[in-house]
Each structure stands twice: as C-alpha cells, then as structure tokens.
C-alpha cells in the first residue's frame, strides 16, 4: 500500500500562522450562544462546523459510532456562530459541549482562554505520523497543544485525459504555471470549435472566491490582504479576465464542479477535492487530477485543516479525549477519506479498495503540498461572524471586474476600503500567506 499525504507544508508559512494565532483570540467579541437543541443522549457532546450536508453528516455519525461504540451526540454547527457559542457557555459557567470538530480557524478564534490543553493527548500520538507542521499549528503559538489535527483537504484541478493533448509544448500537467493553464484553456477552446471547456465554480454557493483569495493572490502577489490593491494584484485580475474569456460562461451557475465535469459540459476545472470526487467515479482511467498552477511568486494553495478540541470547562473531558484518540486511528481516518473525501493527518496506508477518484486526488494533493515553491494560504482567521463579509469583498470584486468589466484599480480601491472596515472592527492580525507581526493589526495594502 502507498502512503497517503500527511503534508509537507513549508515551515516558513507555518511559523507565520502560529504567530498570528497567538494574538487572534483576545480580539473577538463575546455575545450570546446558538441553540444546542440537537444535543441528546449520554455520550460526549460534539459540535462540528464541517460535514454538515445531510450525506456527509450521516457518514460522520456512522464513523463516530463505529470508532466509539459508547456513542457520541453530534450537533451540526455554524462556523460563524461557533466562537460565540463556546465563549458564551464558558463565561456563564454552563458548558454544554465536550468536543469541537472544526477548522483550524475555528480554534484560532477561541485560543487558550476557551480551550482545554490537549498536550498530553498530542504526546500520546507522537508515533502516529502527524506532520510536525500541523502539530505546531495546533499550539496556536503557545508551545502547548489546543487541538489535535484530525484531517485535511485541498483544492486541485481535475481534467479529462483527452484534453492533455492540448497542453502547451513542454508543459507538465503536474507543474503548470498560470500562463500555461491559460494557454491550455485557449487551445482546448479552439479544438472545440471556439466553445470553452474550462470551468470555475462561480455559482452562488461556488468557491471561486477561494480560487482568487487562496490561490491567485498568493501566486501573483506573494500575499493576500496586504497586497490586495497592489500592481501585482492588478496584473492578477487582468489574468483572471483573460482566463474567464476562455471559461464556460455558465460557470456562474456552478456550485460543485463535479456535476458539469461528469456531464461533459466542462472538461477541465478547479475546485475543492470533495466537490470533484464524483466526476471521475465511473471512468477513473479517463481522468487526471493535478496540482493548482503556479504564478510569478510561487504555487499558492489554500489548505483546509480540521482538528478536534475540547472546550474549557467541558464536563466529560475523559470521554472526549477517548473520542479524539479513536478518531486518530489510521483506519478511522481512512474511513473518513473514503466517505467524505478528507485526507488523514496520521500516517495511513492507501487501501486497494479506495475509490479511484480519491487516489487521483491524493497524488495531486501530495505534489501540491510538497512543492518547495508552495505558498500556503489559510481561510480568514479570527473573523468569526464577519468571515462571510470578507468573502463578499472578493466576490464583489470578481463580479465587478470579471463579469461586469469594471475598472480594476478603482474596484480594488473601493473594495480595499470595505475590507479595511471589517478588519478595523474585528481587530485581528493578518493570516497566512500575509506576514504577521506580533501585536500588529492587519492592514490592507
């Protein structure tokens, strides 16, 4: 069996994350909590901000019940409300939850003030093969562990093999540049009688903002927020307009790219791995999945890191810890990969019966994370309920510049003011890939 990726995140990025996370939590406001009416039963009470769609939640419940037969009461939470809920319960001395399953950023906004130290648990997992970079992230810059890394996901490019013949001369699909990616899109369009075949998830629930925020910006500017309106950013937006001109126009309707890929309307697309996995399910030998392209500054990519933590003041720390140990077993994490397409963080063998599409994704994710020129990016950290407003800034810029043809410079200047207004109100430091200075709040550049 081959090993699955456990990450080889460039250390320079991780150190910046840790510094940022150490100063994030105190800046967030506390208010009332959200409902926990879904909590029932006698098992540890676990809230998750991930795997909330019906099928994924059902899969997670099955995995939990199998891994921890004593039972876990699962609550599906809203990431924008999680920090408020945990802080409210802790401040009132009435902590109703025992476990948190969330994104790295969910834990970052809580910090040591609202999380239980799980350093002992982490030491027990020393031989599990969790990448040191993920362990370092879980310290939130404090030297102690505040959550246990659980699983990971990423964004890659899926393509029908038949389109590889249109790659630019000398291009390697596993190490494309954005210029080559555009040339490829143009060649595919021309070979298809002038009709584009490349797609982007620009629908109402699509993740095109993550493409801009976590991939194009770091690849073209080396940063994100701090170079939002830079000359390099203007160049990046010009590039995106060119790419869009060679993209299937109905991409504005696509939320999950696996559907137009499977139907054949689109033959090459970027998206989150869990939104691509069904496309090659029936004919995996006809597909490839490759790393995201690289730009002038490097290969920018966004990592989705999930962890398991325990709220401070939780009533059932012992059983919550037992659940974390159970969910850290390789076979359990493989089960999560098989059913919900999130990759293990522990060392785990790749079983022969794993869905072929997941095998394709694994190869692409491993190549992307192992690129020495990789620039790792995180989703916004510390914004809590304002996270959606930050995504709206990128979405509005995309709509104005790419779809409506607005002036790039004037649009970025206007959206920079909206972005800075959000940052001024939440008072947080920057997050990867932007540079972080202790005690310095994030400023739009």
Dihedral pair phi/psi, residue 309, rounded to 5° = -135, 170
The whole-angstrom separation of Cα 257 and Cα 248 is 12
The whole-angstrom separation of Cα 374 and Cα 363 is 16
The string over 179-209, giving b where at least 16 C-beta atoms fall within 10 Å of a residue's C-beta and e elsewhere, is: bbbbbbbbbbbeeeeeebbbbbbbbeebbbb
Q: Where are the beta strands (DSSP E) in 95-212?
A: 99-103, 148-153, 155-160, 198-199
Rounded alpha-carbon distances, angstroms, from residue 156 to 105, 211, 269, 271, 310:
21, 10, 8, 6, 32
Residues 6+ apart with CB under 8 A from 370: 5, 8
The whole-angstrom separation of Cα 101 and Cα 63 is 14
Q: Is 122 helix (H, G, I), strand (E, B) or coil?
A: helix
Rounded to 10°, the helix 231-244/408-426 angle is 120
Tens place of pLDDT per residue across the chain (445 aa) = 444 444 444 433 333 333 333 333 333 223 323 334 333 457 899 999 889 889 899 999 999 999 999 999 999 988 778 888 999 999 999 999 999 999 888 898 888 999 999 999 999 999 998 877 788 789 887 889 999 999 988 899 999 999 999 999 999 999 999 999 999 999 999 999 999 999 999 999 999 999 999 999 999 999 999 999 999 999 999 999 999 999 999 999 999 999 999 999 999 999 999 899 889 988 899 999 999 999 999 999 998 889 999 999 999 999 999 999 999 999 999 999 988 888 899 988 878 888 888 888 888 988 888 889 999 888 887 776 787 899 999 999 999 999 999 999 999 999 999 999 999 998 888 888 998 766 788 999 9
Output the DSSP codes for 209-226.
HHHIIIIIHHHHHS-SGG
**Burial grade of 301 (CB within 10 A; 0-12, 13-18, 19 or more):** buried
Strands 343-344 and 374-377: unpaired
The whole-angstrom separation of Cα 70 and Cα 98 is 15
Which sign, positive or negative, has the C-alpha torsion 248, 253, 258, 263? Answer: negative
């Amino acid at each position: 069996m081959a090993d699955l990726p456990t990450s080889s995140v460039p250390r320079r990025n991780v150190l910046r994350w840790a510094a940022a996370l150490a100063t994030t939590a105190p800046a967030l406001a506390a208010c009332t909590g959200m409902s926990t009416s879904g909590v029932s039963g006698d098992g540890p009470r676990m809230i998750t901000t991930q795997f909330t769609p019906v099928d994924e939640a059902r899969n997670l419940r099955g995995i939990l019940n199998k891994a921890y037969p004593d039972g876990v009461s699962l609550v599906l939470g809203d990431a924008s409300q999680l920090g408020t809920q945990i802080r409210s319960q802790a401040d009132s001395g009435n902590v109703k939850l025992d476990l948190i399953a969330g994104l790295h950023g969910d834990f970052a906004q809580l910090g040591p003030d609202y999380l239980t130290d799980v350093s002992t648990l982490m030491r027990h997992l020393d031989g599990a093969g969790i990448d040191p970079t993920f362990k370092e992230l879980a310290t939130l810059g404090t030297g102690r562990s505040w959550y246990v890394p659980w699983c990971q996901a990423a964004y890659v490019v899926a393509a029908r093999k038949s389109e590889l013949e249109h790659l630019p001369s000398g291009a390697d699909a596993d190490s494309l540049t954005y210029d080559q990616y555009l040339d490829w899109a143009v060649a595919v369009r021309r070979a298809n009688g002038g009709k584009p075949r490349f797609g982007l998830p620009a629908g109402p629930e699509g993740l095109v903002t993550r493409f801009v925020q976590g991939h194009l910006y770091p690849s073209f500017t080396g940063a994100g927020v701090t170079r939002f309106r830079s000359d390099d950013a203007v160049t990046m937006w010009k590039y995106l307009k060119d790419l869009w001109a060679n993209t299937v126009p109905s991409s504005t309707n696509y939320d999950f790219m696996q559907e137009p890929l499977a139907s054949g309307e689109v033959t090459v697309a970027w998206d989150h791995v869990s939104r691509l996995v069904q496309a090659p399910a029936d004919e995996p030998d006809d597909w490839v999945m490759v790393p995201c392209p690289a730009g002038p500054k490097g290969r920018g990519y966004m990592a989705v890191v999930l962890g398991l933590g325990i709220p401070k003041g939780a009533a059932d720390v012992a059983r919550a810890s037992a659940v974390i140990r159970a969910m850290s077993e390789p076979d359990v994490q493989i089960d999560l990969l098989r059913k919900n397409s999130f990759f293990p963080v522990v060392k785990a063998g790749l079983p022969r019966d794993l869905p072929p599409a997941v095998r394709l994704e694994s190869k692409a994710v491993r190549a992307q994370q192992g690129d020495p020129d990789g620039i790792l990016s995180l989703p916004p950290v510390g914004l809590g309920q304002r996270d959606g407003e930050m995504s709206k800034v990128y979405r509005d810029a995309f709509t104005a510049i790419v779809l409506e043809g607005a002036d790039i410079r004037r649009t970025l200047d206007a959206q920079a003011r909206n972005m800075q207004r959000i940052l001024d109100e939440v008072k947080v430091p920057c997050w990867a890939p932007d540079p972080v200075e202790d005690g310095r709040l994030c400023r739009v550049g």
